[in-house]
Amino acid sequence: MKDIIKTFAVDLLGCGCGSEVFERIDVSDDSFDGACGRGKRILIGNRLLIYLAPWDGRDDLAGHAASLMRRGKEERDKNGYNRFRLVLAADSPAEVSEQAGGLLKSLVGNDEKLHFHVLPSDNDVVQRILR
């Protein structure tokens, strides 16, 4: 699973972390308070926190994404992690980015250590992590 998470973080999310960061990876299931389907909470090297949440096309995408972004930012700040990345896995990534992008940009503001990504739900790496 370590290699899959490293591929996910580096190749899909653009993480520039050094190799030593990937020596410790914690992955746990999370329902994200019902905001999305069963997803994963990933902590890499006690520095990078990632929420990988499937998006099934429910209403109020912006509200759920905003809730997840706030939750991740709070967890990052409380625990002293370096970065937080919210990743939604969606059937229509461009549509999801368009719907949630503006709101999330306002939540991220000038915080360069908060990131929002939308990936295709059928991506092999995403699928393997969500299993």
What pLDDT was estimated at residue 124?
A: 97
Distance CA 75, CA 69 (A): 10
Q: Which tokens in the block code for residue 10?
A: 């580096």
Q: 3-state secondary structure string, the chain?
A: CHHHHHHHHHHHCCCCCCHHHHHCEEEEEECHHHCCCCEEEEEECCCEEEEEEEECCCCCHHHHHHHHHHHHHHHHHHHCCCEEEEEEEECCHHHHHHHHHHHHHHHHCCCCCEEEEEEECCCHHHHHHHC
pLDDT greater than 90 at residue 128: yes
Please give the residue that has the higher pLDDT: either 60 or 5.
Answer: 5
What pLDDT was estimated at residue 33?
A: 67
pLDDT tens by residue, 2-53: 999 999 999 999 999 899 999 999 999 998 766 566 799 999 999 999 999 9
Nearest-10 crossing angle of helices 93-108, 61-79: 50
Instruction: Give the start-to-end residue ranges of the domains of the chain.
Output: 2-130
What pLDDT was estimated at residue 50?
A: 98
Mean pLDDT for all residues in the chain:
90
What pLDDT was estimated at residue 35?
A: 57
Single pTM value for the model: 0.92
Distance CA 39, CA 78 (A): 21
